[in-house]
């Protein structure tokens, strides 16, 4: 399989609880021998069969296998690539504002996320412990294919879970800064970006573009070619639809004050 499917690295000296999530039509094997019960404000999980864990050994224990779970595939482009020069430093806003190249590296990869509800209606509906979740889908011939895995946190029933499973092969992002000006006397800064997403798939895709406004707490978006949604104090999100073999361009500017 060509592409960047996310695989978790083994961790020495502990159990790794694993759940398999099978999307699409097709039956699966019944649940493995793990039982759950509530204890105080916690949940206890018991293996029906004994197992051993020698020193420095990693063992995966399958916790749940759930066929026909409905998942939503989400494409996310977070175009700011971390620059190694700034990774190990505690930068404050003054330092960031006075370093024009901060945050201008471009990440071409578009993430593939899987979102699903941990509910009985979705063939789940029990408290899930922290551990690996693996995803499988059937291809056009009915063959079951592995499509990615990642670790989830302890998750109560009826909650929604989002999992990063890899990077898209046929969707590419490009992020370029087009302007940056700082006025120390007025205590203002202005920055503008151009973001391109290219879709080489045979069907249209929706892509969430995530932008981090990292030069200060006080900001407002000026010109923008799409409407943003504010996710938190320093993050905005755009959602665009890109047709097959189309390149879609997003432009926006941000004004900072301090």
For the chain, give every domain's residue range.
4-70+112-166, 73-111+168-257
Cα(133)–Cα(19) distance, integer angstroms: 5
Cα(141)–Cα(122) distance, integer angstroms: 24
Mean pLDDT of the chain: 85
Neighbour-count burial of 67, counting CB atoms closer than 10 A to its CB (0-12 exposed, 13-18 middle, 19+ buried): middle
Neighbour-count burial of 237, counting CB atoms closer than 10 A to its CB (0-12 exposed, 13-18 middle, 19+ buried): middle
Reported as a pLDDT band with limits 50, 70 and 90, residue 39 is confident
pLDDT at 12: 44
Query: Would you identify the CATH topology of the domain 73-111+168-257?
Result: Immunoglobulin-like (2.60.40)
Reported as a pLDDT band with limits 50, 70 and 90, residue 23 is low
- What pTM does this model have? 0.79
């Amino acid at each position: 399989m060509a592409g960047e499917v996310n695989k978790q690295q083994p961790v020495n000296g502990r159990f790794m609880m694993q759940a398999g999530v099978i999307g699409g039509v097709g039956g699966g094997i019944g649940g493995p021998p793990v039982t759950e019960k509530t204890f105080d404000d916690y949940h206890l999980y018991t293996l029906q069969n004994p197992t051993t864990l020698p020193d420095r050994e990693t063992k995966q224990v399958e916790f749940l296998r759930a066929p026909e779970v409905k998942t939503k595939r989400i494409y996310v482009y977070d175009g700011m690539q971390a620059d190694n020069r700034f990774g190990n430093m505690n930068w404050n806003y003054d330092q960031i504002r006075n370093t024009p190249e901060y945050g201008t590296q471009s990440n071409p990869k578009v993430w593939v996320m899987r979102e699903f509800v941990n509910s009985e209606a979705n063939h789940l509906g029990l408290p899930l412990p922290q551990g690996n979740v693996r995803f499988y889908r059937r291809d056009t011939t009915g063959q079951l294919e592995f499509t990615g895995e990642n670790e989830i946190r302890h998750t109560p029933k009826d909650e929604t879970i989002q999992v990063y499973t890899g990077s898209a092969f046929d969707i590419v992002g490009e992020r370029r800064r087009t302007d940056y000006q700082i006025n120390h006397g007025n205590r203002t800064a202005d920055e503008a970006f151009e973001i391109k997403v290219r879709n080489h798939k045979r069907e249209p895709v929706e892509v969430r573009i995530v932008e981090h406004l990292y030069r200060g707490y006080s900001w407002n978006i000026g010109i923008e070619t799409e409407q943003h949604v504010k996710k938190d104090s320093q993050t905005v999100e755009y959602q665009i639809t890109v047709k097959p073999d189309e390149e879609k361009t997003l432009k926006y500017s941000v004004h900072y004050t301090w």
